[in-house]
Amino acid sequence: MSVQTGVELPPGPASERWGDRVAYRWRVWRHAPNPLWVREMRQSARLLRTPAILAVVTILVTLLMATVGGGMASGTASPAEVGRTLYHLYFSVAYFIVAWVGPAIGANAIASEREGRTWEAVLLTGMHPALVARGKFASAFTSMASYLAMLAPVGALPFLFGGVTPWEVLVAFVFLLLIAALAVAFGLAISAQMESLRGALLVALLASVPLSGFLYLTMGVALSGVPAEIWPEVPRSLGPVWLPSAWTHAPFGLSFVLLLVLLPAAVIGLPGWLLYELTRARLLSVTDDRSFGLKRWFIVASLLTLLTAALPAAFVPKNERSLAVIAGMSGYSSFVVFNAFLFAGEAIGPSRRVRVFLARAKRWRRALGPGVVEVTRLQLALMAFAFFAIAGIGLAAIHLTPGTRRVTMQTEQIVVFSAYALGFSYFVIGLGAYVRSRSTGGALPRIVLLSVLTALSFLPWILAAILGLLNGSTSPGDDAALIAALSPGYGFVAAKALSRPDPGLALIASMVASTLYACFGAGLGYAAGARCRRIIESHETLLREADERLAAEDAAATAVRPLPEAAAA
């Protein structure tokens, strides 16, 4: 019987098939919705400030739209131009409302429970942390959706002037809802990490305001002319809200599905999934397997990033394929560095409860168990596979190009850059594992990683510049600049040097630096594994000694005071 609806719950699925289980989940959601979502929706319905805030926001946006539209209509602008301008103005304002209000609502979800001393009551209900995370997300997203529902009638003002189609407005609202879900998940992940509501709100706003502006300028304004370059049917002046217009004007085909459906879904879905896993991991106990969901996300994101980095080499012009491969490897290297920070808080090893669970689990599940050694092996395996795959696809595309000189030069560029990226990525993963094995939490390893990477990015170039000035060198190709080979950006310098008739010592310096990085990474990884094994063995020894002491105390108590059954006999 559902507590919320008073309806008897349906029986479990009759089979283990995926379709039957999805249908069962749908019936359960209809008859027994998430209790946290129901509770918070009832609370928000009783608040008088909720409709007041919605009304004020709607009135302000309406006045802004009417002022801009009236000013343009009284001038020389055509009605279609006024309609397009109001369309971009409305969805730009709605985007910033979603990007700022969504994280604030999400940050209020869990931190308010902890600050109000009601979080323990939520834990005592026995709900799984995943259910708690979904309930908090559903309630915050519903509140954000109510803002968009109140603002929706204002979005009909562009229809008074023309210039936009109903499909553009509909698609824009769909993507606005997806962005709202991502913004709420971002605030919820911050709320799960914070103990204070004020701290969670401050961090959410300080992060969302500059990040939303950066994404608006890069993903909106800067990319507004890209669809016209790909599809001639798309108008050139799309404006910042270009994705719905590209949907309505671009012809349906493979490029439409890849660039306008799958790519936006990955750009929104992968960060949203990661934020959910971070929230869920933070709500789990320290004796649980917190990293399993993150590892699942890491495997899927690695494969998608690999495809994104490797496929452009097959579609760009023939003389630019090496540049496409280098750009793809550079992007995947950034992904490797991000995951080194992500797994810097990995547990040293599994707890007793997790080991008991893994002993009965399948082999693939045991491979994704918690531990610094396990996550390091996973990162190294996927990293090596990705770099070899990107280089292999790029070389296969390049060798289809006629002309021996150009093919040889592009092949050398890919080999040199991939060797450097592979060695440096190996070093980053090994350094992250070693620092984590020497610390008791995840903050210190991330600080050390950031400090080391920042120093390696700038100090070699500064030392090279100083050495070049002392030797009287002014050209970046001089031998004085070879000390900069320790910088992560030197792979680009070595690849560019191969395009000259005489590359100088850049090739040798790049190979030496990549070898040193790989050796240091292997040494740090081995030292991290050895230290983690010693820590686990010491912990197991302490647990065995504690079990032996407890068993001895039980035996002594039984010998001194016999059991009631023995006394009766």
Q: Are 329 and 417 in contact (CB under 8 A)?
A: yes
Q: Are 162 and 83 in contact (CB under 8 A)?
A: yes
CA distances from 550 to 353, 546, 553, 559, 562 (A): 19, 6, 5, 14, 17
Q: Average pLDDT per run of 10 along the chain, which is 569 residues long? A: 46 57 68 75 69 78 79 73 85 90 88 80 79 86 86 82 84 91 92 85 90 89 82 80 86 84 88 91 83 91 90 76 87 92 88 84 84 91 92 82 63 88 93 90 87 90 72 50 80 82 78 91 93 89 86 79 55
Element (H, E) at 265: helix 263-283
Q: Are 168 and 244 in contact (CB under 8 A)?
A: yes
pLDDT at 527: 93
pLDDT at 424: 93
Q: How far is CA 424 from the centre of its chain?
A: 22
pLDDT at 251: 87
Residues across the chain: 569
Neighbours of 254 (CB within 10 A): 7
pLDDT at 474: 45
Tokens 């479990």 belong to which residue? 12
Q: Are 45 and 22 in contact (CB under 8 A)?
A: no
Q: What's the rounded Cα separation, in Å, for the pair 313 and 331?
A: 13
Q: What's the rounded Cα separation, in Å, for the pair 31 and 348?
A: 42
Tokens 């540049």 belong to which residue? 323
| Interval 489-536: pLDDT, tens | 888 888 888 777 777 777 888 888 899 999 999 999 999 999 999 998
Give the predicted TM-score (pTM) of the model: 0.85
pLDDT at 2: 45
Q: Are 212 and 99 in contact (CB under 8 A)?
A: yes
Nearest CA to 99 out of 139, 137, 148 is that of 148
Nearest CA to 346 out of 255, 445, 272, 417 is that of 445
Q: What's the rounded Cα separation, in Å, for the pair 315 and 480?
A: 39
Structure tokens belonging to residue 210 = 């500059």
